[in-house]
């Protein structure tokens, strides 16, 4: 079946002959053209044009309507115009605000880039590690990094002990030194493992600790565990309990657990394996005064640096979004202005 | 072209003479109302839109840059009707029966029997229904050229498009009107009976 719409496929392509025929103003030339096209293959061309022409005739038979009343203005309308002007300005305001945001983001992004380039080398892991290594040397004061909680140096002040029950290391010197001992120094072994608080890890951490060259256990507040033999003569040793040290007249040191020293058959104090150190809390990790911070801080610093860098903000995406929004609002404002002015 | 009388009235209206502007309103209110009525197919809505168009014309008279004043006025009506149709498309407000009444009284009248009046009324309903199936642009083209009788150049001026665009929209609109009307062949008058698809196939 012939589709008359095919005659007007493109927006500006008009079949003048068909159009004239439909409107009843076709010339002889138009009629000849249409007949020849119908004969050439456009089946039903004339019939379709006839149907459309009848439709046009039907529409033209409709009488125009008259105004039912007068639309004359009783008084000059003024106030409504102001209200519409305010609304018409809204897209412009949005466009300006969005453009301002684009500018602010650009300025902020540039400032951030400059700041990062200036301060980029100051927070390298190597520099932080060196800094913390210096801190650890200050804290230990000797080659021997004590493993036990009693490994603290004498005279380090009143000891508050390790609150193992609480699962946190006190920030006091004893705890810090013990924690330092627990987590092997940079020259030590498995730092990550030693950070765990299990008894097994405790032992392994102790194993990784270097052989101490400090005074024998008896003089220390605490004693080394079995795995570390400070005594040249060998033999087993266990952790000295703070109360034991106190009985000896020395500082009690900090307490591994709450157990009292037991006396063995031979009269020597039986030193139980220390309770595992609790896991250091994140707060203590980044405590500048805490020895933990001095332990293999390279990783921590790296992580800290990563945290500071964070996920880069999608600045350019925000800028693009605001720019698009500004363009849309500007277009809406112009369209609205055109409508208001007709 | 704007007549000298119109130009004088426009000038006085710009100076704030409301009476002069009301003279212009009386000169064009029938055409404005008729276009609005054909577009929205509702008497009350057409009145509101016509009044709104004249109010807007008075407020924005300073934006009139010359040319045909009626064309400038028709563009205001066009925008008002487009806005209304888009609003009602999102939130339908009127019933179909109220809309259909618009055309029943305007079919070419003469000495008619009651039966002829009934046929005319039904045909008017169908015409109104088929107009409602057109897009805003196509409907405006049909209303301006085929119903209101404007020339192609006038319709192009009122719609703010080229003559070719008017013709293109008009031809598409006519074809769709034909197809819609032929779904109700029993209501078509004998003198205006259209060829059905089956007849064309034969």
* B123 and B61 in a common domain: no
What span, in angstroms and rounded, lies between the C-alpha atoms of A140 and A137? 5
- Cα dihedral angle (A323, A327, A328, A332), rounded to 10 degrees? 150
Asked if B18 and B85 sit in the same domain, the reply is yes
Burial class (CB in 10 A: 0-12, 13-18, 19+), A160: middle
* Beta bridge partners of residue A262, listed in sequence order: A270
Please provide residue B164's backbone torsions phi and psi, each rounded to the nearest 5 degrees.
-60, -40
Rounded CA separation B80/B55 (Å): 11
Residue B107 lies in a domain: no
Structure-token pair, residue A174: 């004893």
Largest CA distance in chain A: 137
Mutation site, B14, B40, B56, B190, interface A, largest A CB count within 10 A: B56
> Tell me, what's the pLDDT at B119?
67
Same domain, B53 and B17: yes
What is the least distance, in Å, from the CA of A111 to any CA of chain B?
Answer: 47
CA-CA distance, A49 to A33, in Å (whole number)? 13
Tell me how many degrees the CA angle A301-A305-A308 measures, rounded to the nearest 5. Answer: 140
Q: Is residue B77 domain-shared with residue B153, that is, in the same domain?
A: no
The whole-angstrom separation of Cα B109 and Cα A167 is 101
- Report pLDDT for B164: 93
Radius of gyration for the alpha carbons in chain B, expressed in angstroms and rounded = 19
Q: Are A125 and A305 in contact (CB under 8 A)?
A: yes
Distance CA B121, CA B128 (A): 11
Residue B106 lies in a domain: no
A11/B51 Cβ within 8 A: no
Do the domain assignments include residue B132? yes
DSSP output for A285-316: HT-TTSGGGGSSHHHHHHHHHHHHH-SPP-HH
Q: How many domains does chain B have?
A: 2
Strand partners, A168: A163
Strands A262-263 and A269-270, bridge-based pairing: antiparallel
What does residue A119 show for φ and ψ, rounded to 5 degrees?
A: -105, 15
**What tens-digit pLDDT sequence spans chain B (202 residues)?**
778 899 999 999 999 899 999 999 999 999 999 999 999 988 999 999 999 999 999 999 999 988 899 999 999 999 999 999 998 877 665 554 444 445 554 444 555 666 666 667 778 888 988 999 999 999 999 999 999 999 999 999 999 999 999 999 999 999 999 999 988 877 776 655 545 444 444 4
Hey, what are A310's tokens? 């964070």
Query: In sequence order, which residues have a C-beta less than 8 Å from that of residue A122 and are 6 or more positions away?
Result: none
Interface check for A341 against chain B (CB to CB < 8 A): the answer is: yes
* CATH number of residue B41's parent domain: 1.10.1740.10
CA pair distance B114, B111, nearest whole angstrom = 10
Record the pTM: 0.51
Contact (CB<8Å) B194/A51: yes
Cα gap B58→A78, rounded to integer Å? 10
Residues B118 and B86 in one domain: no
Residue A9 near chain B (CB below 8 Å): no
Write out the H or E segment, with its range, that includes residue A95: helix A79-119
B107-144 pLDDT, tens digit each: 445 556 666 666 677 788 889 889 999 999 999 999 99
A77 min Cα distance to partner chain B (Å): 7
| Per-residue pLDDT of chain A in tens (342 residues, 90 and over written 9) | 555 655 554 444 457 888 888 888 888 988 888 888 888 877 788 888 888 998 998 898 888 789 999 999 987 665 444 455 667 788 888 888 888 888 888 888 777 777 777 776 555 555 555 555 555 555 544 444 444 444 444 444 444 443 444 444 444 444 444 444 444 444 444 444 444 444 444 444 444 444 545 444 444 444 444 444 444 444 444 444 444 444 444 444 444 444 444 454 554 545 566 666 666 555 555 555 655 544 455 554 444 444 555 566 678 888 888 889 889 988 888 888 777 665
Q: Which residues of A17-33 are buried (b: 16+ CB within 10 A; e: fewer)?
A: bbbbbbbeebeeebeeb
Query: Which of A1, A16, A64, A88 should one mutate to test binding to chain B, selecting the residue with the greatest count of B CBs within 10 A?
Result: A64
Distance of CA A16 to the CA centre of its chain: 66
Cβ–Cβ < 8 Å for A4, B156 = no
In a domain, B200, yes or no: no
Last residue within a domain, chosen from B94, B125, B160 = B94
Nearest to A8 among B29, B108, B172 (CB): B172
Instruction: In whole angstroms, give the CA distance from residue A194 to residue A201.
Output: 6
How far apart CA A171 and CA B65 sit, in angstroms, is 84
DSSP letter at A268 equals: S
The residues pairing with A269 across neighbouring beta strands, listed in sequence order, are A263
- A183: helix, strand or coil: coil
A-interface mutation test, from B130, B174, B199, B202, most A Cβ less than 10 A away: B174
Q: Does A155 touch chain B (CB under 8 A)?
A: no
Domain that holds residue B138: 113-193
Which token pair is B98? 């109220």
Torsion of CA A239, A241, A245, A248, to 10 degrees: -100
Three-state DSSP at B199 gives helix
- Please name the residues in contact with A55: beta carbons below 8 A apart, sequence gap of 6 or more: B174, B177, B178, B181, B194
Which CATH number covers residue B141? 1.10.10.10
Cross-chain residue pair B147–A62, CB shorter than 8 Å: yes
Query: Do B126 and B55 share a structural domain?
Result: no
Residues B63 and B133 both lie in one domain: no
Asked if B107 has any chain A CB less than 8 Å from its own CB, the reply is yes
**Which has the closest alpha carbon to B55: B86, B24, B11, B15?**
B24
Please check whether residue B172 lies inside any domain of the structure.
yes
Residue B202 within any structural domain of the chain: no
- Residue that terminates a domain, selected from B94, B129, B148: B94
Task: Choose among A57, A62, A81: nearest Cβ to B107.
Answer: A62
Q: Which of B29, B63, B175 shows the shortest C-beta gap to A52?
A: B175
Q: Do B117 and B75 lie in a common domain? A: no
B76 closest CA partner among B25, B114, B127, B139: B25
Q: Are residues B1 and B90 in the same domain?
A: yes
**Residue B61: HSE in the Cβ half-sphere, 13 Å Cα cutoff:** 23
Let me know whether B1 and B28 are in one domain: yes
Whole-number Cα distances in Å, A291 to A118, A155, A217, A294, A323: 30, 17, 22, 5, 51
Q: Cβ A8–B47 below 8 Å, yes or no? A: no
**In chain A, what residues touch B38 (CB-CB under 8 Å)?**
65
Q: What is the ipTM of this complex?
A: 0.86
Smallest CA–CA separation between A100 and chain B, in Å? 31
Whether residue A54 and residue B194 make contact (CB cut-off 8 A), yes or no, is yes
Q: Which residues of A touch B51 (CB under 8 A)?
A: 71
- B72, B162, B175: residue with CB nearest A4: B175
B169: its two tokens: 């929209």
User: Residue B146's closest chain A neighbor by CA?
Assistant: A60
Q: Where are the alpha helices (DSSP H) in chain A?
A: 16-22, 28-40, 45-60, 79-119, 125-140, 173-182, 191-194, 199-208, 242-247, 282-285, 297-309, 315-340
Give the tokens for residue A60. Answer: 């033209």
Q: What would the two tokens of residue A334 be?
A: 């112009």
Q: Is residue B104 part of a domain?
A: no
Q: Do B117 and B168 reside in the same domain of the chain? A: yes
- Please report, for residues A4, A131, A147, B172, B182, the alpha-carbon distance to residue A52 in angstroms, rounded to integers and kept in the order given: 9, 93, 103, 10, 11
Residues B83 and B124 in one domain: no
Sign of CA dihedral B113, B114, B119, B125: positive
Contact of B51 with A69, CB cutoff 8 Å: no
Taking contacts as CB-CB distances below 8 angstroms, the residues of chain B near A64 are 30-31, 34, 106, 147-149
- Give strand pairing partners of A270: A262
Q: Is residue B201 in a domain?
A: no
Neighboring chain A residues of B50 at a CB cutoff of 8 Å? 67, 71
């Amino acid at each position: 079946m012939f589709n008359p719409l095919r005659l007007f496929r493109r927006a500006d392509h008009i079949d003048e002959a068909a159009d004239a025929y439909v409107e009843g103003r076709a010339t002889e030339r138009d009629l000849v053209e249409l007949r020849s096209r119908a004969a050439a293959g456009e089946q039903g061309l004339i019939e379709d044009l006839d149907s459309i022409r009848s439709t046009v005739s039907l529409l033209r038979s409709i009488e125009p309507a008259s105004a039912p009343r007068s639309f004359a203005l009783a008084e000059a309308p003024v106030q409504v115009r102001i209200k519409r002007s305010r609304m018409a300005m809204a897209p412009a305001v949005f466009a300006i605000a969005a453009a301002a945001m684009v500018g602010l983001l650009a300025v902020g992004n540039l400032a951030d880039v400059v700041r990062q380039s200036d301060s980029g080398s100051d927070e390298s892991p190597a520099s932080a590690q060196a800094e913390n290594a210096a801190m650890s040397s200050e804290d230990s004061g000797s080659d021997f990094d004590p493993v036990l909680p009693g490994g603290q140096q004498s005279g380090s002040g009143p000891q508050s002990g390790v609150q193992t029950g609480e699962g946190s290391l006190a920030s006091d010197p004893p705890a810090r030194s013990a924690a330092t001992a627990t987590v092997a120094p940079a020259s030590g072994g498995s730092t990550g493992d030693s950070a765990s608080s299990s008894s097994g890890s405790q032992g392994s951490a102790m194993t990784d600790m270097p052989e101490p060259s400090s005074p024998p256990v008896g003089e220390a507040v605490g004693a080394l565990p079995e795995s570390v033999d400070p005594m040249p003569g060998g033999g087993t040793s266990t952790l000295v309990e703070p109360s034991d040290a106190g009985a000896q007249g020395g500082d009690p040191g900090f307490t591994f657990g709450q157990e009292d020293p037991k006396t063995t058959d031979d009269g020597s104090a039986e030193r139980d394996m220390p309770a595992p150190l609790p896991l250091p809390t994140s707060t203590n990790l980044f405590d500048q005064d805490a020895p933990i911070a001095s332990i293999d801080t390279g990783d921590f610093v790296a992580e800290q640096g990563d945290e500071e860098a964070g996920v880069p903000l999608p600045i350019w995406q925000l800028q693009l979004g605001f720019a698009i929004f500004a363009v849309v609002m500007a277009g809406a404002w112009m369209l609205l202005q055109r409508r208001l002015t007709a | 072209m704007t007549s000298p009388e119109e130009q004088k009235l426009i000038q006085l209206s710009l100076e704030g003479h409301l009476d002069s502007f009301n003279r212009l309103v009386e000169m064009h209110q029938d055409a404005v109302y008729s276009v609005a009525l054909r577009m929205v197919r509702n008497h009350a809505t057409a009145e509101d839109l016509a009044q709104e168009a004249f109010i807007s014309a008075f407020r924005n008279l300073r934006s009139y840059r010359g040319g045909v004043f009626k064309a400038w006025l028709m563009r205001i009506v066009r925008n008002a009707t487009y806005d209304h149709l888009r609003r009602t498309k999102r939130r339908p407000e009127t019933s179909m029966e109220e809309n259909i009444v618009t055309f029943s009284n305007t079919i070419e009248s003469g000495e008619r029997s009651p039966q002829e009046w009934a046929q005319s009324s039904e045909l008017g309903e169908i015409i109104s229904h088929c107009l409602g199936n057109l897009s805003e642009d196509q409907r405006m083209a049909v209303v301006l050229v085929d119903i209101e009788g404007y020339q192609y150049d006038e319709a192009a001026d009122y719609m703010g498009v080229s003559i070719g665009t008017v013709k293109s929209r008009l031809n598409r609109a006519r074809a769709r009107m034909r197809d819609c009307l032929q779904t109700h062949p029993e209501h078509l008058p004998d003198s205006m009976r259209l060829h059905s698809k089956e007849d064309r196939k034969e």
